[in-house]
A and B are shown apart, each in its own frame.
Chain A
Amino acid sequence: MKARTALLELFKESSGWRVFFRSCCVTSPSRLRSQAWQCCEELKDRGHKLQAEEVEGSLLGLARELLPDTPAAQWDAEWAHDLCKGALAHLARDYAGLSAEEKDTVDLSAQDEWDERMHYAGLANDPVAFRVALRGWTRAGLEAMELLRIKGGAA
């Protein structure tokens, strides 16, 4: 069962969890994110082994669907900034290992499609899609640099 369905069943069944979810959403998106582990533990006790990241993404998504006027339902620029910073640092480590010539020739165009998807995910206020697109963007960058290294080795 996916995290979204499991969380909906939890909220359907327990008014206590609905109150908790609402109080987090009313406070801030970071409050909701920081408390995602509690939901994760509860779902685990109910037999759903889910990744914390998946539960967090679903909670943010449900905030938008169930309580759209709360702060947690708004786009969290700070969160997106932190994610992007981490991804850029990851890419920068590999980029630093390229020669000057490789830096000139590295083709990062494969990232464009993901870049666009990140942009639209942001516009659509969809944190789950944003995270997926960012991961694709990072991976496309890493693969482009790896490809260059392989070609370089073959030459």
Chain B
Amino acid sequence: MVERVLSFFPKSAYYALSAMSERALAYSEEPLSHRFLVIYEAPGMSGEFQTYLIRSLLSEGRIRYETVMKTSEGVKPHLIEREGPTGLIVTTTALRLHSENETRLLSLTVTDTQDQTRDVLAALAEESAGDGPDLERWHALQSWLESGGHRVTIPYARTLAFLVPPIAVRLRRDFGALLNLIRAHAVLHQASRHKDEEGRIVATVEDYAVVRELVADLVSEGVEVTVPKTVRETVEAVKRLREASSGEPVTVIELARELKLDRSAVSRRVRNAKDRGYLRDLEENLRKPSRLVLGDDLPDDLQILPSPEDVRASMQERASGNARPDGAREPHRNGQYSNDAYKACNRARVQEGIKYPPPPSGSEPGDIDNHQSDIIIEEVRDLFASDALEEV
């Protein structure tokens, strides 16, 4: 699939590799600036130093690597600089990459349904029957874009920043990626966008609407306020099967039958659901069939990114002067974010262990728990006392 996507771009737009040596990124003479580095298998970039170089390239937009070289005058320090900015496309069969890398990327999963397999087969058959698509026009578009304007202003960027609930540190990176995607979309559609007095392309809310459609789920999944559709389907299927069998644990084969998927696809889904804690396997012996039961409750499907309508409404408030100077509605005040965003915010606070100070008075959640522990503490106190006596 990646190969097919890349075929729509000229070679100058990317640098594709299956694997590379530990220091290849530092020493290679292949230009990386304004290109995508494509690595066809994640193990091809698994070295510690390699991933460090890639992270630097992605985060800082360049590599500065100081090394030493033997010269006629002895060993001398030598600074290698590789200019970015560079994007990265990497494919893998693993459920997730190293967490430090994963947070710098947007993860897309391949649809594993029978319908998708049918569509893939049909597309392959179509390709083998005739000529492929005309790629020249696509390459010409890229060449035109290279020579066109690249500076973009997003007039609603601050509005957007205040409408996104700041619930997870990861959002700092994701929000940057979101703005870059909006810029990219505006560059792509620059022929129908206005320019400001400085000659910059002015991004519209439509640019955001398209990007949101593409990445809203990924952003919500990234900060774990919602779960992928495949995980939800799998957990709900386990629930249905358990109800139908009066609570018996479920095997992968039963699940595959229920979901109408092949066993390997289901095993993968199950691993993902188990990693996230939504399914548990009662079978400890790896050689025996799984005995799946439900784990944590699934969260509701929530969205972190505000709707384009919310962004427009904030912009209008700004225009009418009935808002903060940045055009955003007041953050952190109940009833002003969308309801979904607030639910997400509260859930993430709990997940990240951020507990806001309790109210100055009134009952605390967990009073029942306190009552239970007050009963146990007397017994435990006695046990500590008898332990001490035994020691004596």
Contacts and interface: CB of A to CB of B under 8 A. Distances in A.
Interface stretch (A2-10, A28-36, A90-98): A2-10
Contacts of A22: 384, 387
Interface string B265-298: 0000000000001000000000000000000000
B373 A8 contact: yes
Given A2-B366, A5-B376, A12 B325 contact: no
Interface string B331-372: 000000000000000000000010111101000001001101
Interface of B: 277, 324-326, 330, 353, 355-358, 360, 366, 369-370, 372-373, 376-377, 379-381, 383-384, 387
The 8 lowest CB-CB distance pairs between A and B, nearest first, are A136-B357, A5-B373, A51-B353, A153-B325, A8-B376, A2-B369, A11-B380, A4-B373
A1 interface: yes
A113 B360 contact: yes
Contact of A54 (B330, B353, B372, B383): B353
A1 B281 CA distance: 22
A132 B377 contact: no
Contacts, number: 63
Nearest to A50: B353
B383 A18 contact: yes
Nearest to B158: A153
13 contacts: A2-B366, A2-B369, A5-B369, A11-B384, A12-B379, A12-B380, A15-B383, A66-B377, A113-B360, A114-B357, A133-B357, A150-B324, A153-B326
Interface in A15-45: 15, 18-19, 22
A154 interface: yes
A19 B388 CA distance: 10
Contacts of B369: 1-2, 4-5
Interface of A: 1-2, 4-5, 8-9, 11-12, 15, 18-19, 22, 49, 51, 53-54, 65-67, 113-114, 132-133, 135-136, 139, 150, 153-154
B373 A66 contact: no
Contact of A53 (B353, B357, B373, B379): B353
B374 to A, nearest CB: 9
A133 B355 CA distance: 11
A133 B357 CA distance: 7
Contact of A153 (B324, B360, B366, B383): B324
Contacts of B353: 51, 53-54
A22 B290 CA distance: 41
A95 to B, nearest CB: 20
Nearest to A10: B380
A154 B369 CA distance: 47
B380 A2 contact: no
A65 to B, nearest CB: 6
B373 A2 contact: yes
Nearest to A134: B357
For B330, B357, B360, the residue with the greatest tally of chain A CB atoms inside 10 Å of its CB is: B357
A124 to B, nearest CB: 15
Given A2-B373, A5-B372, 4 more contacts: A8-B373, A53-B353, A66-B381, A150-B330
A113 to B, nearest CB: 7
Contact of A12 (B356, B357, B360, B376): B376
B380 A66 contact: yes
Given A5-B369, A8-B376, A153-B326, A132 B383 contact: no
Contacts of A133: 357
Nearest to B381: A66
A131 to B, nearest CB: 10
A154 B322 CA distance: 11
Nearest to A47: B280
Nearest to B330: A150
For A1, A5, A18, A67, the residue with the greatest tally of chain B CB atoms inside 10 Å of its CB is: A5
Contacts of B376: 5, 8-9, 12
Contacts of A4: 369-370, 373
A30 B154 CA distance: 51
A18 B387 contact: yes
B373 A135 contact: no
Nearest to A25: B384
A150 B369 CA distance: 41
A5 B381 CA distance: 13
B329 to A, nearest CB: 12
A1 B373 CA distance: 10
B380 A8 contact: yes
B344 to A, nearest CB: 19
B34 to A, nearest CB: 33
